[in-house]
């Protein structure tokens, strides 16, 4: 897979927390001018309206995060955040599993948070962030978390917020693929994917698990920031 082909699977991400609207618009301009283009630009909600207004005819999706990165478990607050994000132009929502509730086996609270996302945005692409690098997970528990996200109507299972020491791993991605089975649901690999080599390792993993011809941005994404610059043609001079 060439750099240009890989670029179209990318969710270009800027989630430091101190970005200004002007910085997000500048990044959006780079995304808009990129060959491909990338699948999405993922930014914090505060800059959504500015980017949406600046790029009304974009060929990429505008994505954002809610209850990020803590996995806050107030369903009403999550629902309101999703509604506000969609009103500001978000086309994709990345929401975090209510981790503390999950590990406390308060599955009703976990389900309520994810249900609030889907209720507030029935047609928006919903990516459930499972934070697969949390050391409390066992393979069985990660499968259980994935099942809850799938039952809630998630369109993607996403590995990580990128805010804890362990992000994406091939082991975790394989476990998520097991959970998906033949369902028309995607995997978003996020957290520590900073090089072409790392990205291609995940591509190879996905091609092994699914038919290569079915590997499209509706089935596979990579969430990254530094990788975007590396994949641009001018970065190879």
Q: Known catalytic residues?
A: 94, 158, 188
CB atoms within 10 A of CB 183: 8
Phi, psi dihedral angles at 201 (to 5 degrees): -65, -40
H helices present in 34-162, as ranges: 48-54, 75-87, 99-103, 107-120, 139-151
Cis peptide before 37 (omega within 30 of 0): yes
CA separation for the pair 119, 111 (Å, rounded): 12
User: Cα 176–130–177 angle (5° rounding)?
Assistant: 5
Burial class (CB in 10 A: 0-12, 13-18, 19+), 38: buried
Cβ–Cβ under 8 Å, residues 44 and 19? yes
Plot region of 127 (φ>0 → left; ψ -120 to 50 → alpha; else → beta): beta
């Amino acid at each position: 897979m060439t750099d240009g082909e890989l670029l179209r699977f990318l969710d270009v991400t800027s989630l430091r927390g101190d970005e200004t609207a002007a910085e997000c618009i500048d990044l959006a301009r780079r995304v808009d001018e990129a060959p491909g283009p990338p699948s999405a630009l993922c930014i914090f909600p505060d800059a959504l309206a500015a980017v949406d207004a600046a790029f009304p005819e974009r060929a990429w999706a505008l994505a954002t995060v809610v209850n990020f990165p803590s996995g806050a478990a107030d369903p009403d607050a999550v629902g309101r955040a999703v509604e506000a994000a969609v009103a500001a132009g978000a086309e994709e929502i990345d929401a975090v599993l209510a981790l503390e509730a999950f590990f406390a086996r308060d599955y009703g609270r976990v389900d309520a948070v994810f249900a609030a996302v889907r209720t507030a945005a029935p047609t928006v692409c919903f990516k459930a962030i499972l934070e697969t690098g949390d050391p409390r997970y066992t393979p069985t528990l990660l499968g259980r978390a994935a099942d809850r996200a799938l039952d809630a109507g998630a369109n993607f299972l996403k590995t990580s917020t990128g805010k804890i020491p362990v992000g994406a791993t091939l082991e975790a991605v394989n476990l998520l693929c097991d959970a998906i089975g033949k369902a028309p649901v995607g995997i978003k690999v996020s957290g520590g994917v900073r090089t072409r080599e790392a990205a291609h390792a995940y591509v190879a993993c996905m091609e092994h698990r699914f038919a290569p011809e079915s590997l499209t941005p509706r089935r596979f994404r990579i969430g990254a920031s530094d990788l975007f610059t590396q994949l641009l043609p001018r970065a190879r001079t």
